[in-house]
Amino acid sequence: MRGPFRNLVIISLTIALFSACKKEKQSEPDKPVPDITNIEVGLNNNEIGVIGKDFHFNAEVLAATKLENIQIKILQRQGENYTKTWQHEITWEYKDAKNATVHKHFNIPDNAPEGKYDFLIVINDQSGSKLEIKKSITIYMAANVPVNPAASIFNIFANDARFYRNGKFTVEGSKLKTGDVIKSQVTITDVKDDGKMYVLLINKKLNHRPESIEKIDFSKVIVYDVLEHKGWVKSEYFSNSTVDPVTFQPIRVFPSFTIGGTTDNNTPIGNAINGVKAWESGTYYFGVVYKNTTHNIGFYHYIEVSIEVN
């Protein structure tokens, strides 16, 4: 076979072969990949980490078939300057789960250098498919973070007697009871500009322990106290009990609250204590949730308190 006819046959065979391969490729369905929503990198999704301190990560994950594991990788970026080479990786096993709420806390390692990083989220499916999402994170030394809120005073008084002080109950196993009048002094350190604080009491059975102000479900919480600071130009202590530094006269006294009362201390008016948060005997969370609204940096702290309702 020679000449133009031979060339025509070769071209025809090539086209046929290409078409067959194309059809075969098109007939192979794409592998489904996992899905991820409600990503929070850092408390309040602020994408800030502090060396040696707790870091918050949250996401809702849906498998393509079944999950294998979920990874996060903190990776240095090209073009950024760091004092040393460093990276960090964590893997959490979720084998055979169809979906998962990934709510994790871990410390930023002490050997991490400051800087801007890629925060890579990797969802590995048992089908072999994966999903990778890239976010950002800025890591600070504690001395360099814009504000670094922490509780320096966290006290509870019951009927004017000390009930709890900075990590220890006055009498272990003691309970609050119907009719007890409680007062709580809460002081947050190292804050400036604008911020807001809630002090909360929450029945543990409601499975609600908000870590940020935005996550507070007021249908489930009893508000003991709420207050704000605005326009502070330097770092100060933020407390729900303050006195005049010259006269030593009270400026604000921490409020009273009666166990078994009908309304809480939310402002501008108290919320009714009814529905799912109606009083009952059991274990309650008592804690503070603070947000610096200027710098989008938050803090929370909870203890467990037993309450006996008559």
Rounded to whole angstroms, how far apart are CA atoms 278 and 264? 11
C-alpha triplet 257, 262, 267: angle, nearest 5°? 65
Rounded to whole angstroms, how far apart are CA atoms 196 and 212? 11
Which segment of 18-22, 108-112, 126-130 scores lowest on mean pLDDT?
Answer: 18-22
Quick: pLDDT tens for 193-238.
999 999 999 999 999 999 999 999 999 999 999 999 999 999 899 9
CB 57 within 8 A of CB 104: yes
Q: Is the pLDDT of residue 26 over 90?
A: no
Q: Span 1-29, mean pLDDT?
A: 50
- Structural domains in the chain, sorted by start: 35-140 (2.60.40.3880), 150-308 (2.60.40.3880)
Assigned token pair, 154: 């966290």
Q: Span 161-167, mean pLDDT?
A: 93
pTM across the whole model: 0.85
Percent of the chain with pLDDT over 90: 85
